Amino acid sequence: YLIAENISCPTTVLENPHWDEFEAELEKGYDYIGFQLIGIHTDKIADMVALARMKSPRSKIVIGGYGVSMLHDPVPGDKRGSAKFILENSDYLCREEGVRFMRRILDDEPVDRPITQHHLPFTGFSFKALKKWYQRVPIVLVSLGCPNACPFCNTSAFFYHKKIYVADPEQTYDFMKNYSRRLRSDNLVTLLFDEDIFQNAEYIRELGRLIRSDCKTWNFRWFAFGSIRALSQFEPEELRDCGAGTVWVGVESILCDDPERAGKDHLPKRHGDVGRIISGLHKNGIMTVGSTILGFDFHTPENIELDIDYFVKLKPTFYQIGPLTPCPGTALYHRLKEEERICYDYQWKDIHLWKDDVFRLNNFKPNEISKYFDQYHRKLMEENGPSLLS
């Protein structure tokens, strides 16, 4: 959607089309056919590329999306050879910011003109107890990539651990106002997509100043991702006044911030007082999404219990709990492959948050980590009550 809005030539966007719809569109003879590749859909994209080559042989095929970084070092279970097929049958691979990439190959000058974000569809959520209520949430892409370089993070690795800005604070504010007009409401919650938006403190402060500059936007609130280290630059009251409504915080493990204990799984982004930060956010009306990971090399049946108890006591408003997953193209995958710990039957369909047996863990048997996944959720429910979205 973002690319279509920002190039000059006529463009059709298909979102999860049925095969007959896709085939009918191919018969129109497009000059370029672009695919967004997500790792779990690699086999499906290979089939779509094959159909595109058959139905529209003169079209140039462009492959983008985070799955591109996985093609040159595919999972061992890629028995169909889908990664090789995509590489051999694509004309362009995009591993950079996509709008400017498409402008460049289309000779759509000037390539570096501003990127607008006025027509993206909304995401949203609902509460189970309120079936007729649905919160529509606009999205603004602030930046791509992240210099934190967590070894398991595919989105950081994709952009070679660099941050690429797409919208400055004034543009982000203007896009938020546009979505407010579309929704006909000043009570706006916007998802600002940035892997760690709080790294740039001046960005947050300028956005907050703009929101406060007009009484019509005083009710603007935003949801964003942040690391403990980056959040430590702020007092929670300041974040509240800058419009923060919900913050996704990578808690991961209480052992990750100590290089001696964590070893190769040390995460510099984790430095800071997690309890103080999350408590401060809650006291100032800012909700949190806490994320935590199971199966680091330093995890044992004994200390993983400490992580569970600590995370439960943080009382995150929402939470994400998942096993460590090595994605091809990341430092974690490369290391585990060198150590011959990647399972031979690891397939594309296994690249998702809840697959727990794609590599050999240091201190747990296959599938053993799943019992701690269940224990996490049970304790969160019993001690903190059901999530707001339950």
DSSP letter (8 states) at residue 352: S
CA pair distance 243, 176, nearest whole angstrom:
12
| Cβ atoms of 53 and 35 closer than 8 Å | no
Q: What is the pLDDT of residues 241-299, one digit of tens each?
A: 999 999 999 999 988 888 888 888 889 999 999 999 999 999 999 999 999 999 999 99
Task: Read off the tokens for 75.
Answer: 């999972």
On the question of pLDDT at 30 being above 80, the answer is: yes
On the question of pLDDT at 107 being above 80, the answer is: yes
CA pair distance 162, 149, nearest whole angstrom:
9
| Cβ atoms of 289 and 319 closer than 8 Å | yes
Average pLDDT of the chain? 95
CA pair distance 333, 343, nearest whole angstrom:
11
Mean pLDDT, residues 112-135 taken together: 87
Angle among Cα 298, 300, 304 to the nearest 5 degrees reads 95
Q: What's the full length of the chain, in residues?
A: 390
Helix (H, G, I), strand (E, B) or coil at 315: coil
Between 229 and 129, where is the model more confident? Answer: 229
Q: What is the pLDDT of residues 347-378, one digit of tens each?
A: 999 999 888 899 999 999 999 999 999 999 99
Task: Read off the tokens for 360.
Answer: 């050999």
pLDDT band at 389 (very low <50, low <70, confident <90, very high): low
Predicted model pTM: 0.94
Helix (H, G, I), strand (E, B) or coil at 310: helix
On the question of pLDDT at 340 being above 90, the answer is: yes
